[in-house]
Structures are given as structure tokens and as C-alpha cells.
Amino acid sequence: SQELEQSPQSLIVQEGKNLTINCTSSKTLYGLYWYKQKYGEGLIFLMMLQKGGEEKSHEKITAKLDEKKQQSSLHITASQPSHAGIYLCGAELPSGTYKYIFGTGTRLKVLA
């Protein structure tokens, strides 16, 4: 079973609309990463969250890590076609194990 669940699996929105992608773990996370993969291209690091309640923004993308550090949400405001791609969350399992896990990915399409 997946240790990091993302929802939704796919999302189609009209340009200009806001959207949210969620990443949920059954365990406490020790660092939560968000990546974007453009179709057919490599992964792009978006941001990293460490502390419970932390929130970070990058251009029109905002990510939050809840207080219990078991869920993170990625919010895109006024989506644009350039936001299209696959969004992946990733995290490290208990500190010191050096084991990283990734979510199942969310495929985003933005209609112009």
C-alpha cells in the first residue's frame, strides 16, 4: 500500500480557476517535498516543508503542512496552462533511515 496518498489523481480545470492537491500520510513526516513534472520532462523541485503549520509560496503556488505533519496541501491560484503537469509529493520516513517515499502523483490539465 502507498504510504503517501495524493488526491485527486487527475484534475482538469479552466484557466483562471483555483485548485488544491492533497498529500496524506498515515505516519508523521519529517520533511515534505513538492515536485512538478512537466509532461515528458524531468522533475522540478517546488518547495519543502518541515515544521507543522508551515506554509510556503512560490509564485502562484502555496503549500501547507498541517500541525500534525501528516498532510500537506498544494494550492494554485488563478491557474494557467503553464501549471499543467504532474505534481508529486515526497517525504522522508523517520529521520536517519534515509528512506524517501513519493506520492502517487496528480495529473493536472489547465484548459485555455
Q: Which of residues 18-57 bind another protein (CB under 8 A)?
A: 30-31, 33, 35, 37, 41-45, 48, 50
Nearest-approach distance from CB 102 to another protein, in angstroms: 4
| Residue 13 binding another protein, by CB under 8 A | no
Three-point CA angle 62, 66, 96, nearest 5°:
100
Q: Are 30 and 93 in contact (CB under 8 A)?
A: yes
Q: Whose Cβ is closer to another protein: residue 16's or residue 100's?
A: 100
Of 11, 74, 88, 108, the residue at the interface with another protein (CB under 8 A) is: 88
Enumerate the β-bridge partners of residue 64.
55, 73
CA distance 31 to 49: 6
Give φ, ψ of 8 to 5 degrees: -75, 175
Q: For binding to another protein (CB under 8 A), which residues are involved? A: 2, 30-31, 33, 35, 37, 41-45, 48, 50, 86, 88, 90-92, 95, 98-102, 104-105, 107
